């Protein structure tokens, strides 16, 4: 657990996969299939797939591969992932956490496409935030900060007033590059120096502040 244990923010920016939605089973199935097609070690591939858009992961793994092929594989994988919701569930504590944000400025900032985000949030039984930044919204994948900066701008807040929830290296680096504080969620986040760290969202209590002053988050360890 990293300090501080109490954080205030005017707005929250939430990653989706492995942060509020547990889609690890689907991600593993799809990327194992892709790794087999490329003749690659699936375990090595799975170490780097989290947080980025699929084409960006493919480019990192196969730097000499034509980008057109990466985008084509990414389109195919997005279709597979969207159709496969078996095992997609909320991260522990996510339903109560999201319900507590009713009326609090917040946005989804995900590397998923709109159809994939709809499918996974629906499968997990979580309401889609009114503001969402998806793969279609940005020109660069995480760890580029573009998505988080766009989310803050759409909510009408400066980066320093926003707090990011993320699980992956790419996502945490993106939040940090945007000049935002980051709450890391899950074991994967521990290695990347988030502002605070929780194993899941059952350890976060949301206190809504008066006069539209945002939220105070009480983080237990």
Kindly list the catalytic residues. 15, 17
- Cα separation, 152 vs 137, in Å, equals 13
Longest dimension (CA), the chain: 57
Give how far the C-alpha of residue 41 lies from the chain's centroid of Cα atoms, to the nearest Å: 25
Please give the structure tokens belonging to residue 65.
């591969």
Nearest C-alpha neighbor of 52 from the set 179, 129, 138: 138
Q: Does an H or E element contain 35, and which? A: helix 24-38
Which residues, in sequence order, are CB contacts of 168 under 8 Å at separation 6+? 15, 18, 50, 51, 52, 142, 188, 189
Name residue, tokens 């689907």.
26
């Amino acid at each position: 657990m990293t300090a501080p244990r109490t954080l205030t923010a005017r707005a929250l920016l939430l990653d989706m996969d492995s942060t509020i939605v547990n889609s690890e089973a689907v991600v593993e199935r799809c990327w194992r299939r892709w790794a087999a097609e490329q003749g690659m070690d699936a375990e090595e591939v799975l170490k780097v797939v989290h947080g980025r858009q699929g084409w960006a992961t493919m480019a990192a793994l196969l730097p000499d591969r034509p980008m057109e092929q990466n985008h084509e594989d990414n389109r195919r994988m997005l279709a597979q992932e969207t159709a496969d919701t078996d095992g997609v569930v909320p991260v522990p504590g996510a339903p109560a956490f999201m319900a507590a944000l009713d009326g609090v400025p917040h946005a989804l900032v995900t590397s998923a496409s709109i159809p994939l985000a709809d499918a996974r949030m629906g499968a997990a039984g979580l309401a889609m935030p009114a503001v969402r930044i998806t793969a279609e919204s940005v020109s660069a994948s995480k760890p580029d900060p573009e998505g988080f900066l766009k989310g803050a701008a759409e909510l009408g807040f400066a980066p320093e007033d926003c707090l990011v929830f993320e699980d992956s290296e790419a996502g945490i680096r993106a939040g940090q590059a945007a000049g935002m504080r980051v709450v890391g969620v899950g074991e994967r986040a521990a290695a990347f120096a988030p502002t605070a760290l929780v194993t899941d969202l059952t350890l976060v209590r949301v206190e809504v502040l008066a006069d539209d002053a945002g939220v105070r988050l009480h983080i237990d360890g």
